[in-house]
Amino acid sequence: MARKISHVDILKTHFQNIILPSFENVRVVSYVLVSVLLVGGAGIWMPWAKETHVGTWLPGATVFTYSFALLGSIICNRLYFYTKSLREIKGLLDKEDENAELQKHFENHEVGSILSAWGMIFGSFIIILITIAYSKYYNADSIYGWAGFILSVLLYFVASAEDLDKKSSVTAKTKDEQDAKPLVPPVDGREDSELNSDFFGDGE
């Protein structure tokens, strides 16, 4: 299990192994650009396309509604995926013979909960920014609004990158080495079992 002193290391490892490579993953990047910015951000860029002279590019009201909905979707996705993970763990408990796999699920679940806690910290900071933009700069641009908007998109990318990569991949995943089983099962507990002549028949 992850110790408290390693929570920062877990965040660093996740960022290096998952997040940074995702910026080079065209499936993840294209999804965020099209779904989150182009379609989901229509309320932001449509006024720009409609008006020739735009005095306010990102008013506080717009950035609040957009970013708040984006953060809300992250929370809902996290709850859904954790519920799915718990169902998988329950299935392993019912089998009563998958101790190693069960332990692996618990460890992955704990790492995920630690990463989600980091996400909640960053998300709370973003909510503060967009709330300031909403309350003080309702119809005007502000550094709070722009920062909240950019950080919201980045947080969504970070929170969704791994799941988007798994869902969009068509490559079949191979079994781990520890799960691989020998082609010929051992006989009488011996690991060096060999095929005998009866295995192939007499050739007739």
| Lowest-pLDDT range of 14-18, 72-76, 125-129 | 72-76
Q: How confident is the model at residue 53 (pLDDT cuts 50, 70, 90)?
A: low
The predicted model gives 42-56 an average pLDDT of 70
Q: pLDDT tens digits, residue range 110-119?
A: 787 788 888 8
Whole-model pTM: value is: 0.65
What Å distances lie between residue 65 and 36, 103, 128, 141, CA to CA?
14, 41, 13, 15
1: which 2 tokens?
């299990």
151: which 2 tokens?
């950080």
Please determine, for residue 128, whether its predicted confidence score (pLDDT) is greater than 70. Answer: yes
| Lowest-pLDDT range of 82-91, 135-144, 163-172 | 82-91
Please determine, for residue 179, whether its predicted confidence score (pLDDT) is greater than 60. Answer: no
Please determine, for residue 107, whether its predicted confidence score (pLDDT) is greater than 80. Answer: no
Question: Cα 46 to the chain's mean position, in Å?
Answer: 29
Helix (H, G, I), strand (E, B) or coil at 190: strand
Q: Are 130 and 137 in contact (CB under 8 A)?
A: no
List all residues 6 or more positions away from 147 whose beta carbon is below 8 Å from its beta carbon.
129
The predicted model gives 66-92 an average pLDDT of 73
User: What is the predicted pLDDT for the residue at 92?
Assistant: 62
Average pLDDT along the chain: 75
Please determine, for residue 64, whether its predicted confidence score (pLDDT) is greater than 60. Answer: yes
More confident residue, 58 or 138: 138
Please determine, for residue 2, whether its predicted confidence score (pLDDT) is greater than 90. Answer: no
Q: How confident is the model at residue 106 (pLDDT cuts 50, 70, 90)?
A: confident
Please determine, for residue 176, whether its predicted confidence score (pLDDT) is greater than 50. Answer: no
